[in-house]
Amino acid sequence: MCYTQSRFNALLSACVLSLIATAGWSQSLTWLGTLPGYDRSYAYGVSADGAVVVGWAENAAGQKRAFRWTASGGMQNLGTLGGDYSEAYGVSADGAVVVGWSYNATGRSRAFRWTASGGMQDLGTLPGGYVSAAYGVSADGAVVVGRAQNAASHGRASRWTASGGMQDLGTLPGGNNSEALGVSADVAVVVGRAANAARYERAFRWTASGGMQDLGALGGCCSTAYAVSADGAVVVGRASIAGGQSRAFRWTASGGMQDLGTLPGGNNSYAYGVSADGAVVVGESGWRAFRWTASGGMEDLNTTYASLLTNRSVLREARAISPDGRYIVGWGYNAATNRTEAFLLDMGPRCTAHNGDVDANGCVDDADLLQVLFAFGQTGSNLGRVDVNCNGVVDDADLLEVLFNFGSGC
């Protein structure tokens, strides 16, 4: 199909502003600030749609308060269980349930489950124990996992439900202590760390039928599992290598524990979050937040999203990612406020095959062609719909896909 130069120039001029506006809308970085009277904040969980972020804020005296953030309401102080300290680590898919831990009136730490209607609920501990903490929650908010003390004063990985209360998930053979840090969306798999007979901490994957499985390490002594995919098939965390350094890992039953490497200049790396399909991993290496995919490897979010960062601002740690892989939360240095702050990074929609309808208006036309042309040569795992064939690069193949489908649906 041919176009005159004048028509092409007219189309280019007409579309350029809308294209720039679209790019600005689809990718954004929001610094979340902190609670009144507090001077720093850290984000640890995000809802499925990116609308709710949870974590905690800290003041100069070291006191901490769990928070729940929304764009409309800002940062909400969730209070405590009667003490002077609380931290939030997990949130349900719809953002309605928040979990973490808080000191109670007697100064003991207790796992909590918060809702707007019920406030902060003390989840108790194991029989004979005194303390507990919650670190993860299922997508529907019904299952909470963490650590609880038993009668022998050992910390044990725990799984809480309203009907069953606090359940001891045990530990690895020969070990005494364990803690659960994540749960799959279908609640069938729990992950965390547990001591083995040699008293080394090892990443574990627990199921009701199989119990607690030691996931090993990467040549060193120790490992920790921080998060698990929706179906429980992919586990991520950190493991020590032979030299004693830590490496982010991605584990599957078929492939075992895969070393994800480090960012240039980094000696260690840690994987803290994973998308629902297990394809995108986020974490920290050399005090730089990263995103990892099989096609793109480990990329520094500060480089990929440099245009969103004001001078000297840095994304330090990526702590969680939304199920669809679009939203990342964590903490970094906000140069505008000169303090450590929680952040919410919206990377735009992940690629989905769509036969050339880049702007999703049902018609493959000039506007779709121009969007691909403007993005030509870009690479990465979150290019959105301009990566028409979802191969991680905008190139001739994407242009041809648009041209072959030109006029469809119009």
Per-residue pLDDT of 180-209, as tens digits, reads 999 999 999 999 999 999 999 999 999 999
Burial of 257 (C-beta count, 10 Å sphere; 0-12/13-18/19+):
buried
pLDDT per residue as tens digits for the range 223-243? 999 999 999 999 999 999 998
Please give the Cα distance from 305 to 294 (Å, whole number): 19
22 or 377, which is more confident: 377
Residue 8 pLDDT grade (very low, low, confident, very high; cuts 50, 70, 90): very low
Please give the Cα distance from 321 to 328 (Å, whole number): 4
- pLDDT of 117 higher than 70: yes
Q: Which residues on adjacent β-strands are paired with residue 156?
A: 148
- pLDDT of 19 higher than 60: no
- pLDDT of 217 higher than 90: yes
* CA contacts within 13 A on the Cβ side of 315: 30
Architecture of domain 5-23+354-404: Orthogonal Bundle (1.10)
- 225 Cβ neighbours under 8 A, 6+ residues apart: 181, 182, 191, 192, 193, 203, 204, 205, 215, 235, 236, 237, 251
329 three-class SS: strand
What is the CATH superfamily name and number for domain 29-346? YVTN repeat-like/Quinoprotein amine dehydrogenase (2.130.10.10)
- pLDDT of 249 higher than 70: yes
Residue type, 47: S
pLDDT per residue as tens digits for the range 336-374? 999 999 999 999 877 666 788 888 888 999 999 999 999
Angle between helices 366-374 and 396-404 (to 10 degrees): 180
pLDDT per residue as tens digits for the range 148-178? 999 999 999 999 999 999 999 999 999 999 9
The mean of the pLDDT values for the chain is 92
What's the mean pLDDT in 90-95? 98
Please give the Cα distance from 343 to 53 (Å, whole number): 9
Angle between helices 5-26 and 366-374 (to 10 degrees): 70
Cα–Cα separations (whole angstroms), residue 407 to 1, 53, 244, 362 = 11, 42, 59, 10
Our CA dihedral for 366, 372, 374, 378, rounded to 10 degrees, sits at 180
Strands of 275-338, DSSP E? 281-285, 288-293, 297-300, 314-321, 327-334
Task: Write the DSSP string, 197-265.
Answer: TTS-EEEEEEETTTEEEE---BEEEEEEEEEE-TTS--EEEEEEETTS-EEEEEEETTTEEEE----TT
- pLDDT of 17 higher than 50: no
Residue 26 pLDDT grade (very low, low, confident, very high; cuts 50, 70, 90): low
Task: Write the DSSP string, 162-194.
Answer: TTTEEEE---STT---EEEEEE-TTSS-EEEEE
Residue 13 pLDDT grade (very low, low, confident, very high; cuts 50, 70, 90): very low
Q: Please state, as a whole number, how many other Cβ atoms lie within 10 Å of the Cβ of residue 214.
A: 16
Residues in the chain: 410
What's the DSSP call for residue 129? -
Please give the Cα distance from 247 to 60 (Å, whole number): 32
- pLDDT of 6 higher than 60: no
The full set of domain ranges for the chain reads 5-23+354-404, 29-346
- pLDDT given at position 379: 82
- pLDDT of 2 higher than 80: no
Please give the Cα distance from 116 to 94 (Å, whole number): 13
CA angle 179, 182, 186 (to 5 degrees): 130
- pLDDT given at position 362: 85
Please state the φ and ψ torsions of residue 146, each to the nearest 5 degrees: 175, -130
- pLDDT given at position 354: 76
Cβ atoms of residues 178 and 195 within 8 Å: yes
Residue type, 146: G
pTM score, whole prediction: 0.85
